Chain A
Amino acid sequence: MSIRQFVSEIQRGSISAEESIAKAIKSAGSLNKKLKFFITPTFDLAARHAHQVQHLVNNHSDAGRLAGIAVSVKDALCIEGVESCAGSAVLKGYKPLITATAVSKTIASGGCIIGKTAQDEFGFGGFNTNVGQGFPVPLNPHDSLRSCGGSSGGAACITSAADFPHIAVAESTGGSIVNPAAFCGVVGLCPTYGRVSRNGLIDYANSLDKIGVMGRCVDDVAIALEIMAGKDSNDHTSSSVPVGYYGSHAVSPRRQLKVGIVKESFGEGVDERVVKNVRDAIKKVTDAGVQTAEVSLPLAFNYGVPSYYLIALSEASTNLARYNGLLFGATEKLSSDSKGFRDFFASVRTKYFGAEAKRRILLGTFARMAGWRDAYYTKALQVRQLIIQEYQRAFSQVDVLVSPTMPFIAPKFSEISQMSPLQNYMADILTVGPNLAGLPHMSLPCGTVEGMPVGIMFTAPHFREDMLIHAGGMHESI
């Protein structure tokens, strides 16, 4: 049942929100034992939210457009009083004083927060295997020997596995929504940078972080986006562009879309079987009368990954500077023989940051040091502008872009452990472009290879989520 249908049943009183959430809690609990998508389940919170929803329904009040829906939240989004660690041991035990705006908006619309989902530490990965010490690695529901993708791996995992109405609030910096959505066979939507407030999101890279949503169908994610989006006085980078009516595959003005096929994304380094699935899907929409054109994005493909990592890690290395054992999160005992604050900070950071976090802090710090800054950090910012312009040129010819989401199907954990950091970073080749340019993009299921889901990705111009949803709906319905 779609969220739209389910919520109307709840609102009519034909389904009890409390009973439904009780079932969801039971199911999520047993699924989580097997798949490990939760870092912190919040079943008490979900029950409380369901009680509020039921109370409103009983009083014939509007219980909201997510009434009685189980909502999972990526660990990086703060919920007041609920341990929120962004998957890092350095924040173990940290209970925020604030709730992320995106989360409070879903709660205000009747969403029932069921748990904080697994992720790579601070979002530093594409397979959800770079987890903080003591944190879970979620297993792919389609094959437990394989990764869910990342960094929002837990979000995709529960979205795929849930046998109850559910949406996942996720986050993407360089592809962390569409990547796991593709690997787990769900719909993942990452909106335009600034479309959803980042207030309460534990930062990875502030100029790239975007909060989005995962669900089982386009309409589900469209409804959730509509609720989360909008200007927020607690985040200066949130946009005041009016939020559209994203539901029901709306596009305004309603018209036939012209789809641009991104040439480079079907080339070298992309699994031929993945290419075939996506080409077949494109053929189906073409047969249904959609116009297509080939589009080339050489800058995005040649310079996207390095520029993305230089900017993201420069910002990340400053964001992570605050974790030093002084004000929040993990700490060490101050000993009388400690040699000053530097030793103390170093001891906390050495002990509680994972290997990938340390690697990214070092790379990011290097890229912004005097003498290197102009060649790396500043240059990458310039390249980002050029890549944005390249996309804008492409969008002068077509309405949306299409490509495979990931160059391969979800890899096995045994394969991931053999990959070098560089191979890891190159897995982002198809997703960094729209992320670096801040463009809305969405991954949808597109058949299978070896029984594993393949994802097809659409990308739209800034703040044209309506076109994105229209394109996704078109693919979904054919």
Chain B
Amino acid sequence: MSPSEVIIGLEVHIQLKLNSKLFCSCSTVGEEEPNTRVCPICLGHPGTKPLLNKKAVDAAVRLGLALGSTINKKINFSRKQYFYPDLAKNYQITQYEIPVAISGSIVLSSGKIIDVARIHIEEDPAALTHTDSTSLIDYNRSGIPLIELVTKPVMNSPDEAREFLNTLLTIIGYLDIFDQNTGIMKADANISIAEKGFTRVEIKNILGFKEIERALSYELARQKAHPVVRETRSWDAVAGQTYSMRAKEQEEDYGYIFEPDIPPINISAEYLEELKKTVPELPSTKSERWVKEHKIDAADSKIIASELQLALLFEQLIQHHNPVLIAKWLRRELLRVLNLSGKTVADIKPDRLHELFALLESKTVTDKIGQKLIEELAKSDFSPRQRVEEQKLGVISDGEFIAKLCKDAIAQNPKAVSDYKAGEEKALHFLFGKVMASAKGKAKPDVIKQILKELL
């Protein structure tokens, strides 16, 4: 199936990282007992009026700016009315006519531009939990601030959809408007294929970018194998399949009206200028610039740029160290040890890394020792320079000492020696490893190689 035979569009909901709800002052931070973070406003009590959390507008505008969108000069809110038990007012306050931003885009690694048609703000409904006989409602979620972002239907594969979401995730991380640990990013996707006449199917409730590819791949296969009707389906991540929720004819008419309790908001030029200053250089721009300016590996650059803390660390370290070395070490070693230890970049003091890279750059320690030190830094804080001194971890380049170790290794591994002589290059690596191990990683690699070759 060629790409243009699949059309995918996304509607992404992002929970904003704000301390209070969208229309009241109830807290949103951390977990709480159900129905304890509620007040007359988010319970929709008669007589209460929504009081807009202006920080939500700031966040949406900043995302709009980051995606190169047009920010509307005057925005307004609307009521989307439908009856459902999770809606305290039986209408949701959202944006309909004039959203915060329109016509932005995200560029994929292939260079393909994904148009982001609109970005708007809305409130989350309450959370429903269904048991066998009852449904429970938790209004703690009622009024949680969300951003909805809608793409044009321009993606042509589940892989593109995944990359889009992944890139979006990086950007909202950079903008610090989304909490990767507690926030929820949810997507609804529409997907249609040529061989079924592009009959549009919507898939709801896809959590995060890891699920999107699974859900869309499943749906693609289903559409190819079965008759397709225009409908809304739901993604069941546990079962790994989509199931039908309702046919298109049953779709509700939301009867939108303007939200009369929130007057239109003017977005002034001064306000936009202020917010522009708070939009950091975006990951794609950063990584391209690094490759160009510092000649670092493109893959390393992209991975380092994809996390703001890591990117900032990189920029800090390359002021004193060789960027190519730093890029290699951050991506291959630092990320590896962080993954293993479950720590984050913020858990390691930049000064310690600075010391470590100074040791590596001056070849005071071997890479092997460097790897050990970085592993230990992920576990506890210490000065690499002091440790190298105390534990005598400095590189050994004493030829006589290394020659002795090499002779021992050759004597103890006759098979490797004969293999090498038969032309197997790998056997030399084996012997090299043995020597390095008996030197506890401290021997200068060049010297080992040279002596081994001479001896053989």
Contacts and interface: CB of A to CB of B under 8 A. Distances in A.
Whether chain B is bound by chain A comes out as yes
Interface of A: 77-78, 84, 86, 91, 94, 96-98, 100, 198-203, 205-207, 233-237, 314-315, 317-318, 321-322, 324, 326-328, 336, 341-342, 345, 365, 368-370, 373, 377, 381
Nearest to B259: A206
- Residue among A200, A336, A342 with max Cβ neighbours from chain B (10 Å): A200
A204 to B, nearest CB: 11
B89 interface: yes
B260 interface: yes
A199 B49 contact: yes
- Residue among A94, A100, A198, A327 with max Cβ neighbours from chain B (10 Å): A327
B255 A200 contact: no
Given A200-B48, A321-B91, A341-B84, 18 more contacts: A78-B47, A86-B46, A207-B258, A234-B49, A234-B51, A235-B49, A236-B49, A236-B50, A236-B52, A236-B263, A317-B255, A318-B91, A318-B255, A322-B89, A322-B90, A336-B133, A342-B83, A370-B255
A373 B256 contact: yes
A237 B263 contact: yes
Contacts, number: 102
A100 B83 contact: no
Contacts of A198: 49
A97 B83 contact: no
Contact of B46 (A94, A207, A236, A314): A94
A365 to B, nearest CB: 6
- Top 7 A-B pairs ranked by shortest CB distance? A321-B90, A206-B260, A207-B260, A78-B47, A368-B255, A202-B46, A200-B47
B255 A315 contact: no
A328 to B, nearest CB: 6
Size bracket, chain B contacts: 20 to 34
A98 B255 CA distance: 29
Nearest to A368: B255
- Residue among B40, B261, B263 with max Cβ neighbours from chain A (10 Å): B261
Interface in B67-95: 79, 81, 83-85, 88-91
Contacts of B49: 198-199, 206, 234-237
B253 interface: yes
A328 B45 contact: yes
Nearest to A365: B255
Interface in B19-59: 40, 43-52
A326 to B, nearest CB: 7
Nearest to B80: A318
Nearest to A94: B46
B180 to A, nearest CB: 32
Contacts of A205: 260
Contact of B261 (A236, A324, A326, A370): A236
B312 interface: no
B38 to A, nearest CB: 10
A406 B83 CA distance: 39
Interface of A is mostly: loop
Given A342-B83, A370-B253, A98 B40 contact: yes
B40 A97 contact: yes
Contacts of B81: 317-318, 321, 368
- Residue among B48, B79, B133 with max Cβ neighbours from chain A (10 Å): B48
Contacts of A322: 44, 46, 88-91
A118 B256 CA distance: 32
Contacts of A206: 49, 260-261
B257 interface: yes
B136 interface: no
B257 A318 contact: yes
B401 to A, nearest CB: 78
Contacts of A365: 255
Nearest to B139: A327
Given A318-B81, A322-B88, A322-B89, A368 B257 contact: yes
Contact of B83 (A200, A201, A328, A345): A345
A357 to B, nearest CB: 14
Contacts of B133: 336
A377 B257 contact: yes
Contacts of B45: 96-98, 327-328
B50 to A, nearest CB: 8
